[in-house]
């Protein structure tokens, strides 16, 4: 089955056919580096990281470009506010972005260009647009003349008249058309600037992406991604600039991820209901966040709230416990023979199917929710074997090993489940234990006392200890091998 993707440009799912067989050229809008990243950035970047990984998984040679917007009004404002140079702001938040993305387990894109390192390329495009009559200069600024680009608004499917009727923007009298947008901004005194044919200034917001994508991917490339909120005006303007300058199609497939809501409300700085990635990672493991973000389809809105994160945590833990079972069964004694129990046969079927199910799910516009469902199904099969089969023979061992490998494939694409299971489980246990008001030593001591009580069948004392620990959020798990504990 071929990969199908939802293309914002056509509003439909389409079969993905790259320009050059076997190769994919992909550009994703990065961040403007003026503040810490929030979970909206986390989603966008995790989603396209997953897409990047999957394209590679199915055998494409992928060139993935993600930019840093390192010069912008917001950066200048922040620098003025903090009383530091603008490049200090961008340098700092590039480092913070890199740190955040690394903690979320993202792979590095092929290229991570910066806007300020492409000023000559940007100026060249603006000049070309001016030569072709698509742009005009006014007192040091240069604007794109939207009236000259017939396809303007083809991505966001609006029309100029309606846009102007509902416009909430102050009209700039110097523009020929209120919808014309800045390609180059003349510098006011004290502002950072680069020399240009129009005087000292800096690039407009959209032009950098046209310049950098062209440099690394060519005039026409396969995939351009970003958050839904970038459709208008950012991506619309990129199309206008690039296609007007080059006279060739800009992008074949436009992919946009949905928003993150906070407790069902739009996340925004003015509402004060946004969380930075760092804040979230203080409360939840990075894999939990990643699992949560991928447990819904990338185009759907997703609601960030404690209940949903807790559910994600529980689900992820279930899978890791299952993986730990696979390891335990595989690493134990292997008996001779190749007969299979019902549960063994059932697992064999699930293992055989999982690879195909995963491909089908992902080929359908990267349906990670469905892919994860398949994984849960496999894990149930594993647990059933663990419960019902006391002996692992050669054949069952092979099946379990195949299950382990199948999960490994999914793990590499989703960027989850790639920890060693017992390490993950230990990690979340110590994370929770750190929040407890009782030390590990005290817990161990109480468990020892309880073991003694149980030995003498003093179950009253035994239950007393368990209830005491439970009141401190400690859950005990008795097994023939002894008692272990976990945090509720």
Partner RNA sequence: GGCGACGUAGCCAAGUGGUAAGGCAGAGGUCUGCAAAACCUUUAUCCGGCGGUUCAAAUCCGCCCGUCGCCUCCA
308, 398, 418, 419: which one binds RNA (CB under 7 A): 308
Among 3, 5, 26, 44, binds RNA (CB under 7 A): 44
Please, which residue, 177 or 308, has the CB nearer to RNA? 308
Binding residue for RNA, selected from 286, 295, 354, 407, defined by CB under 7 A: 295
Q: Is 241 in the site for RNA (CB under 7 A)?
A: no
37: nearest Cα among 106, 129, 85, 140: 106
Which residues from 134-193 bind RNA, rule CB under 7 A? 156-159, 162-163, 165-169
By the 8 A CB rule, do 229 and 259 touch? Answer: yes
- Classify 333 as helix, strand or coil: coil
Between 186 and 374, CB nearer to RNA: 374
Q: Strands across the sheet with 302-304, in order?
A: 265-266, 260-262, 302-304
Rg (CA), the chain: 28
Least distance between RNA and beta carbon 178 (Å): 8
- DSSP secondary structure letter of residue 148: G
Rounded distance between C-alpha atoms, residue 109 and residue 106, angstroms: 9
Instruction: Map the footprint of RNA across residues 109-138, applying CB under 7 A.
Output: none
> Which of 380, 395, 427, 431 lies at the binding interface for RNA (CB under 7 A)?
380
Q: Positive or negative, the Cα torsion across 350, 351, 357, 362?
A: positive
Q: Identify which of residues 9 and 127 has a Cβ nearer to RNA in the complex.
A: 9
Cβ closest to RNA, residue 128 vs residue 321:
321
- Please identify which residue in 186, 227, 344, 421 interacts with RNA, judged by CB under 7 A: 227
The structure tokens listed for 458 are: 């003093």
Asked if 347 is part of the footprint of RNA (rule: CB under 7 A), the reply reads no
Nearest distance from C-beta of residue 439 to RNA, angstroms: 21
Ramachandran sector of residue 123 (left: φ over 0; alpha: ψ -120 to 50; beta: rest):
alpha
Among 15, 61, 151, 377, binds RNA (CB under 7 A): 377
CB of 156 to RNA, least distance (A): 7
Determine which residue in the list 315, 341, 360, 397 makes contact with RNA, applying CB under 7 A. 315
Q: Hey, which residues between 253 and 292 contact RNA (CB under 7 A)?
A: 257-260, 264-268
Is residue 314 a contact residue for RNA (CB under 7 A)? yes
454 touches RNA (CB under 7 A):
yes
- Nearest partner of 76 among 190, 182, 196, judged by Cα: 190
Q: How far apart are the first and last CA of the chain?
A: 43
Q: Which of 452, 454, 455, 484 is nearest to 469 (CA)?
A: 484
Strand-strand pairing, 221-227 and 201-203: unpaired
114 vs 384 by CB, closer to RNA: 384
Nearer to RNA, 148 or 462 (CB): 462
Which pair of structure tokens corresponds to residue 375?
Answer: 């994984």
């Amino acid at each position: 089955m071929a990969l199908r993707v939802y293309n914002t440009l056509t509003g439909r799912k389409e079969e993905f056919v790259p320009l050059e067989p076997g190769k994919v050229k992909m550009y994703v809008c990065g961040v403007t580096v003026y503040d810490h990243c929030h979970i909206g950035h986390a989603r966008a970047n995790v989603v396209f990281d997953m897409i990047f990984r999957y394209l590679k998984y199915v055998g494409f040679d992928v060139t993935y470009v993600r930019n840093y917007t390192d010069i912008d009004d917001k950066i200048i404002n922040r620098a003025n506010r903090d009383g530091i140079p603008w490049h200090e702001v961008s340098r700092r938040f590039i480092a913070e972005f890199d740190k955040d993305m690394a903690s979320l387990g993202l792979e590095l894109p092929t290229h991570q260009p910066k806007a300020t390192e492409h000023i000559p390329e940007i100026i060249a495009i603006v000049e070309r647009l001016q030569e072709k009559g698509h742009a005009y200069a006014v007192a040091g600024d240069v604007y794109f003349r939207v009236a000259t680009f017939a396809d303007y608004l083809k991505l966001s499917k609006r029309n100029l008249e309606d846009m102007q009727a509902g416009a909430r923007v102050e009209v700039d009298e110097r523009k020929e058309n209120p919808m014309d947008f800045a390609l180059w901004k003349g510098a006011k005194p004290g502002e950072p600037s680069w020399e240009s044919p129009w005087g000292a200034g800096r690039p407009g917001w959209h032009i950098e992406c046209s310049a950098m994508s062209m440099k690394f991917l060519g005039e026409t490339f396969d995939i351009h991604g970003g958050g839904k909120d970038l459709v208008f005006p950012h991506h619309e303007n990129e199309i206008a600039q690039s296609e007007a300058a080059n006279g060739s199609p800009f992008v074949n497939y436009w992919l946009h991820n949905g928003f993150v809501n906070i407790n069902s409300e739009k996340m925004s700085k003015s509402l004060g209901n946004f969380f930075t990635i760092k804040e979230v990672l203080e409360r939840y493991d990075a894999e939990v966040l990643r699992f949560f973000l991928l447990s819904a389809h990338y185009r759907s809105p997703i609601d960030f709230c404690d209940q949903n994160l807790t559910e994600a945590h529980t689900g992820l833990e279930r899978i890791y416990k299952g993986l730990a079972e696979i390891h335990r069964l595989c690493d134990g004694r292997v008996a001779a023979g190749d007969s299979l129990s019902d549960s063994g046969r059932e697992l064999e079927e699930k293992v055989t199917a999982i690879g195909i199910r995963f491909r089908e799910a992902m080929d359908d516009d990267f349906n990670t929710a469905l892919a994860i469902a398949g994984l849960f199904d496999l894990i149930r099969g594993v647990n059933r074997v663990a419960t019902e089969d006391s002996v692992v023979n050669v054949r069952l061992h092979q099946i379990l090993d195949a299950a382990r490998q199948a999960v490994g494939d999914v793990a590499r694409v989703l960027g989850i489940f790639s920890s060693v299971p017992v390490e993950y489980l230990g990690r979340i246990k110590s994370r929770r234990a750190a929040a407890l008001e009782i030390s590990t030593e005290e817990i161990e001591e109480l468990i020892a006392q309880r073991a003694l009580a149980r030995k003498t069948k003093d179950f009253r004392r035994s239950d007393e200890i368990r209830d005491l620990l439970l009141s401190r959020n400690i859950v005990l798990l008795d097994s023939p091998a002894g008692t272990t504990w976990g945090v509720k």
